[in-house]
Amino acid sequence: MWTNTSGGVVQSDSTGPPLRPDPPEALALSDVTVRFGGVSALNHVDLEVPSGQLCGLIGANGAGKTTLFDVISGLRVPYSGSVRLHGTDVTGWSVQRRARFGLRRTFQRVQVFGWLTVEENLLVANEWRGGGGGVLGDLIGLRSRANHERERRTRAEEVLARCGLLDIRDRSAASLPIGTARLVELARALMDDPTVLLLDEPASGLDSSEAERFGDLVTRIAEDHETAILLVEHDVGFVMQRCHRVMVLHLGEVLADDTPERVRDDPMVLSAYLGTSAD
Ligand SMILES: Nc1ncnc2c1ncn2[C@@H]1O[C@H](COP(=O)(O)OP(=O)(O)OP(=O)(O)O)[C@@H](O)[C@H]1O
Ligand SMILES: [Mg+2]
């Protein structure tokens, strides 16, 4: 029998080395409720996404998907319930503090800085992590500043290459078609190696080959970089094909949370969301 000690190490009653317990889920929501006046946009929602998992979130318009993202990212404080990142309760934390803890998101309405180039859109995302010297440091060109600048550019180049954007690094972001702008938004979110990534309708407005490319990239990010990804999408085919797991929200409540195959065959999901009868 295994017992949990105060240090969090699991030790067997018999001899042998102590075993570490499984790490906490990268993202966990517990009993989250959000109300807008008399409307419950989310009602006692629980959700866990482990590292390396691509979890799809589907539901009809107004089901509460974006509200859930706002709660996770810190834009909205829930009426009740909690949000944990890697086991730490972040419910009271600001958006910026959660971002420093490894959380990034993209938006339902794609948000790139149109007056910057593709590469600059990535460079602005890679926040300054110190180096000292303040404004004076900039003026006299401290070596740490120059090193940091080089690191940022190298990192941007890696991410641009990973997202297939190297060839258009100097293009103005304002001139990009929606599919490419969504890739730039994703690339910007990847600059600081997020451990938890929220994607709000990333395939919306993409044609089938762009969606395919986007799906391949997102799958690689989850699996190769051990990132926990929660993805909201109306394209049910994309979600069923790409996600390890699917959660269905209906009027602010969790209707199903299972493998794509089981969710697709769930009679409640078929009638409430997919609009077809199970018969
Ligand atoms: N700021 C707000 N004030 C009042 N009600 C809101 C607000 N934001 C969302 N709601 C309501 O909360 C519910 C959930 O909205 P939400 O935007 O989260 O849905 P969604 O699942 O993202 O929908 P969609 O698929 O259309 O993007 C809806 O009834 C919506 O009208
Ligand atoms: Mg929405």
Q: What is the pLDDT of residues 113-124, one digit of tens each?
A: 999 999 999 998
201 plus 149 within the same structural domain: no
Per-residue pLDDT at 45 exceeds 90: yes
- The reply to whether 11 falls in a domain is no
- How many A from CA of 249 to the centre of ligand 1? 12
User: Are 168 and 180 spatial neighbours (Cβ–Cβ below 8 Å)?
Assistant: yes
Tell me the C-alpha distance between 229 and 197, whole Å. 5
pLDDT of residue 271: 82
Cα–Cα nearest to 255, from 125, 64, 120, 104: 64
More confident residue, 210 or 229: 229
Mean pLDDT of the chain: 86
52-65 pLDDT per residue, tens: 999 999 999 999 99
229 plus 106 within the same structural domain: yes
Q: What mean pLDDT comes out for the span 102-121? A: 91
Per-residue pLDDT at 3 exceeds 80: no
Ligand 1 environment, Cβ below 6 A: 36, 39, 41, 59, 61-67, 108
Kind and range of the H or E run holding 28: strand 27-36
Confidence of residue 7 (pLDDT cuts 50, 70, 90): very low
- The reply to whether 10 falls in a domain is no
Per-residue pLDDT at 135 exceeds 50: yes
Confidence of residue 28 (pLDDT cuts 50, 70, 90): very high
Q: What is the dihedral of CA 161, 95, 230, 41, to 10 degrees?
A: -150
pLDDT of residue 2: 34
Indicate which atom in ligand 1 lies nearest the CA of residue 59.
Answer: 21
Q: What mean pLDDT comes out for the span 40-61? A: 95
CATH of the domain at 99: 3.40.50.300
Indicate which atom in ligand 1 lies nearest the CA of residue 67.
Answer: 18
Range of the domain at 132: 114-175
Cα–Cα nearest to 194, from 161, 154, 230, 232: 230
Tell me the C-alpha distance between 64 and 3, whole Å. 39
Confidence of residue 127 (pLDDT cuts 50, 70, 90): low
The total domain count for the chain is 2
Report strand pairing: 54-58 vs 228-232.
parallel
- The reply to whether 98 falls in a domain is yes
159 plus 206 within the same structural domain: no
Pocket test for ligand 1, best of 35, 36, 77, 201 (most atoms within 8 A of CB): 36
105 plus 121 within the same structural domain: no
Q: What mean pLDDT comes out for the span 141-169? A: 86
**What is the sign of the dihedral through the CA atoms of 183, 189, 193 and 199?**
negative
